Copies of this chain bind each other. A is one copy, B any other.
Amino acid sequence: MTENRFGAGAAYIRGQFVPIAEATLPVTDWGFTRSDAVYDVVHVYRDGFFRLDDHLDRFVHSMQARRLNPPEDRAAIEAVLHRCVALSGLADSYVAMVACRGRPKLAGSRRPQDCENHLIAYALPWIDVIPPDVQERGAHFWIASNPRVPDASVDPTVKNYQWSDLTSGLFEAHDNGYDTAILCDAEGFLTEGPGFNIFIVKDGRVMTPDRGSLHGITRKSVFELCEAMGIEAVVAPIPRALLEDADEVFAATTAGGVMPGARISGRILGNDRPGPISASLKQAYWKRHDDGWHRTAVRPL
């Protein structure tokens, strides 16, 4: 049997499928030099995409919001994603799609309208945002001292790479011995963390912020699970004091699913372990995956 040269990951760039190591961007692409790009990430679990249509819907929304228009239409993008996964041979993977501004067709132009937008996609081996052993004991979340960029300046529902405020929070979290960060906005309301939505549980009720947050696909799944399990769940403003007074906390993201927490900035929640509602949501999330929930089988080569 020959080794699969796409085994470390398969990418699509400039219309070609290449091993991930060969997927590179010019250093002068505005997707880099102006962070003028949007993206999305869908996961594949046991040879099936999870909520592929939802991710494609959001990706199209993000592209339209930033007037990014690569040559591939939605059906072509979907086909590219299938082929990246099939080439990689990975049963479990995360699959990124990126629309980049590119470079001006007319040399010297400084107008984004003059650029040749392009699509990048790639399938990589599965990775959790929060390592599995940390999820097991319950993640320790640090409330960052710097505020999240406000929605009026950068729309958080348009999935983007502008992570500077999130990265600042991460450094501070690690400096303080915490696993990851969550950010409040300048008014002191909870927003999100680096790569995940955040939820709290208070008196049996599940809550997630109404502002400063991506409309997460896993977040949407949590609401569906809560409905099925008879748990009240709301989108609402969450002042920092309410966060600090939570019974439970958990993160939700494609790259890891439902990930329970145990501590928030010096406070130990419950028994310093994942809380019962968080744990049952996590369990249900993966159980449903096994049952084929929102599944689209990866098309073979």
Chain A interface (Cβ < 8 Å from any Cβ of B)? 11, 13, 20-21, 23-28, 31-37, 39, 66-67, 98, 108, 110-113, 120, 122, 124, 127, 129-131, 146-150, 152-154, 160-167, 170-171, 174, 180, 186, 194-195
Q: How far is the CA of A32 from the CA of B131 in the complex (A)?
A: 23
Which of A147, A161, A164, A174 is packed against the most chain B CB atoms within 10 Å? Answer: A164
CB distance from A128 to the nearest CB of B (A): 8
- B34–A161 CB distance below 8 A: yes
Give the distance in Å from the alpha carbon of A253 to the alpha carbon of B238 in the complex.
42
A100: shortest Cβ distance to chain B, in Å? Answer: 9
**CB-nearest residue of chain B to A152:** B147
Interface contact A167-B25, CB-CB below 8 Å: no
Which residue of the partner chain, among B67, B108, B160, B165, contacts A164 with CB atoms under 8 Å? B160
Partner of A152 from the list B28, B131, B162, B186 (CB cut-off 8 Å) is: B186
Q: Is the CB of B167 within 8 A of A153?
A: no
* Choice from B23, B39, B112, B167 contacting A167 with Cβ under 8 Å: B112
Q: Flag if B27 contacts A26 (CB, 8 Å).
A: no
The listed residue (B28, B67, B153) touching A20 by CB distance below 8 A is B28
Q: Which residues of B sit under 8 angstroms from A162, Cβ to Cβ?
A: 35, 162, 164
Which of B21, B122, B148, B174 lies in contact with A113, CB distance below 8 A?
A: B174
